[in-house]
Amino acid sequence: MKGQSLKEALKSTFVIAVMVLCLVAAWFIFDKVMGNPVNFDGGNREGHPIQGNYLGIVYKGGFIVPILIAINLILLSFVVERFIMLARAKGRGSLNAFVRNIRDLLRDDKIEEASKLCDKQKGSLANVVKAGLARYRDLQNDKTLMNDQKVLALQKELEEATALELPVLSQNLVIMSTIASVSVLVGLIGTVLGMIRAFGALATAGAPDALALATGISEALVNTAFGITGSTLALIFYNYYQTRVDSMTFKIDEAGFSLTQTFAASLKK
């Protein structure tokens, strides 16, 4: 229980550290790179961006821009993190081949060889199967339980092992789904604030200035572009990783079912 609490604390610390680092990096990019005076007329960041200089144009999007940059950096960080973790959870070889080999070994009652195959495969599926195999022989030799009780005990062991692995597979996907919803909304907030500034400047100027209005609107729409980009990428990667998690979960269920059925059949011999 303490070990589980420590793991959860480390995961939370990791997530917070990533977010803080992304915020710091985003502010540096916004202030030092995009806000570099060389991107503006006369070398003054308070002036207009040099024509065609997109760094200066994005900088003029306002204080919402670094928030959106941070959101995109956070997304990128967890995309890489999920890629690495799911690759580790998959193990070293093909999951389909692993499941087939486990079935063949179970059919021949080669439990020890199947356990060694799990050690070689590694990953979430192998961990669940190995947990079941560890109880397989013990339950076969147990004379105190009825056959139905033995099958239920094996199923419970597999369910507990699966319950430990599933959080690892889906960890941090909620961050991607949140970014998919939040990013575009934050971008729209920046756009609305930019439009308010643009029309407010026109109202105080007296005479309508089409150039100033066009510039203000283009700067405001920078936030929308950032927000939509982050939301789109988050949605794509969330669905991609969720599909991988579902596929791996199906393989775990399939292997668990095969293990249980083979065990039940062995008890009838």
The H or E element that residue 131 is part of is helix 124-141
Share of the chain above pLDDT 90, in %: 30
Rg (the chain; Cα; Å): 28
pLDDT confidence of 24, banded at 50, 70, 90? very high
Of 267 and 59, the one with more pLDDT = 59
CB 200 within 8 A of CB 207: no
pLDDT-wise least confident of 6-20, 70-84, 124-138: 6-20
Residues 6+ apart with CB under 8 A from 128: 158, 161, 162, 165, 252, 255, 256
75-82 mean pLDDT? 94
CA gap 17, 23 in Å, rounded: 10
Whether pLDDT at 47 is above 60 = yes
Domain boundaries, the chain: 95-168+253-267
